[in-house]
């Protein structure tokens, strides 16, 4: 066994998984296990499934030579060159990730000084730091994440080049950066990871719009940090989390700002401005981080439902309570309120009561809510009644036909991230 599992055991932590290193080549591994699948382009890795668990099996890598294919920045593009156990150790990124546990005699095999760095609580790259970062810029993200996870300090020589080389992250495929970002932010150390990424100048190359908002808007910083702290708390107690809610929070400041700009500069109706803003913000973000549609679509729904919380007449409230994405949108409203966003605290309290206090139509509406019910946006006169079709005895359906029971959200204000949706 090698890597993070051995490292975490020595640090007194429960490993997330175990990786295996072997002299067997990928094709030989696949012949041994029917449940084996080979993945990876730069370096082939064997995934061997045992029930719900997947063991990642890698062949010992050989030393770096001039024959390795690189791009103009020094990043290695092809690495299917195999070697010995010792050569493999010096190909690992950090010394504490180059520790091997030999099941033959239950010993720790250490070629790079990882045991000593564990004792000193130090994160240190193997080899020349700048060269190693150029080989794979994602190592800069791992340095921040692993140091915060173990409460280690990054060695000065390993930390010094990061700010200078941060722009190399733009050479990494957006899909790979999405996976790395989930490891960084869907963790107990999410808030500390954000601070570390910003300190080393990495965050602006991952979420540039969010970084801009954090620099200029204290309210945006409060909302993002609150979202990360709630995510960490849910992970700690074993509750589910979803990337859709996380990215909705990270990109909300940029989205809200763009909605306001479009409404002011182009004069579009709020609904049109919201759709256009969502498309622009997501398209801009996809250039850096490839957010899959299974997460970006719920994220758009969470954003799009926020204005509907303002209209709280009995009929509209009942219909919103039955929306499939109500739970996630309500949790997001709570997040905005807890972050101090103006005008959201009273809204969050009302919707909490609507779920536990019976019929929403029986709850008192504040004056601004009554105004919203009697006038369309941009008009000053009363709203015209719609002519009903199909006769007086038409059959009612959906929310009009049933007395809808409330209770779709958490009355205690506990964030669910929409996992139940």
Beta bridge partners of 58: 21
Contact indicator for 113, 99 with CB cutoff of 8 Å: no
Query: Whole-angstrom Cα distance, residue 135 to residue 63?
Result: 13
Catalytic residue among 17, 102, 128, 420: 17
Active site annotation includes 359: no
Contacts of 246 (CB under 8 A, 6+ apart): 185, 186, 227, 231, 417
Burial of 249 (0-12, 13-18, 19+ CB in 10 A): buried
Catalytic residue among 8, 79, 88, 93: 93
Question: Which residue in this structure is represented by tokens 């890597």?
Answer: 3
DSSP tag of 380: -
Contact indicator for 98, 114 with CB cutoff of 8 Å: yes
DSSP tag of 242: -
Active site annotation includes 110: no
Beta bridge partners of 154: 123
Active site annotation includes 19: yes
Contacts of 388 (CB under 8 A, 6+ apart): 394
Contact indicator for 180, 141 with CB cutoff of 8 Å: yes
Active site residues: 17, 19, 93
């Amino acid at each position: 066994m090698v890597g993070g599992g051995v490292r975490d055991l020595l640090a007194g932590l429960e490993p997330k998984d175990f990786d295996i290193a072997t002299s067997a080549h990928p094709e030989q591994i696949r012949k041994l296990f029917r449940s084996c699948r080979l993945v990876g382009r730069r370096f082939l890795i064997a995934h061997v499934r045992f029930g719900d668990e997947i063991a990642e099996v890698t062949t010992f890598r050989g030393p770096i030579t001039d024959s390795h294919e690189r791009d103009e920045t020094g990043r290695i593009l092809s690495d299917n060159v195999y070697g010995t156990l010792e050569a493999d150790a010096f190909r690992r990124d950090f010394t504490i990730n180059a520790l091997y546990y030999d099941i033959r005699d239950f010993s720790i095999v250490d070629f790079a000084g990882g045991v000593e760095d564990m004792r000193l609580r130090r994160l240190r790259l193997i080899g020349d730091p700048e060269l190693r970062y150029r080989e794979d810029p994602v190592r800069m993200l791992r340095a921040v994440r692993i140091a915060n996870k173990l409460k280690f300090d990054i060695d000065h020589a390993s930390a010094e080049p990061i700010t200078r080389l941060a722009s190399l992250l733009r050479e990494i495929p957006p899909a790979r950066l999405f996976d790395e970002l989930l490891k960084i932010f869907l963790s107990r150390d999410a808030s500390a990871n954000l601070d570390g990424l910003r300190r080393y100048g990495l965050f602006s190359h991952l979420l540039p719009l969010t970084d801009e908002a954090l620099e200029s808007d204290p309210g945006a910083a409060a909302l993002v940090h609150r979202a990360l702290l709630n995510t960490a708390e849910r992970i700690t107690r074993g509750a589910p989390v979803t990337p859709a809610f996380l990215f909705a929070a990270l990109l909300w400041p940029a989205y809200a700002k763009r909605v306001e700009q479009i409404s002011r500069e182009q004069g579009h109706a709020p609904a049109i401005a919201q759709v256009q803003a969502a498309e622009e913000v997501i398209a801009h973000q996809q250039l850096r981080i490839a957010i899959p549609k299974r997460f970006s679509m719920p994220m758009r729904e969470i954003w799009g439902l926020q204005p509907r919380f303002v209209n709280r007449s009995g009929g509209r409230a009942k219909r919103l309570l039955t929306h499939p994405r109500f739970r996630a949108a309500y949790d997001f409203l709570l997040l905005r309120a807890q972050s101090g966003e103006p005008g959201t605290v009273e809204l969050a309290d009302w919707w909490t009561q609507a779920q536990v206090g019976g019929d929403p139509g029986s709850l008192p509406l504040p004056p601004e809510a009554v105004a919203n019910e009697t006038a369309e946006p941009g008009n000053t006169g009363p709203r015209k009644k719609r002519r009903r079709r199909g006769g007086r005895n038409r059959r009612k359906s959906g929310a009009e036909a049933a007395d809808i029971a409330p209770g779709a959200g958490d009355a205690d204000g506990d964030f669910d991230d929409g996992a139940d949706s």
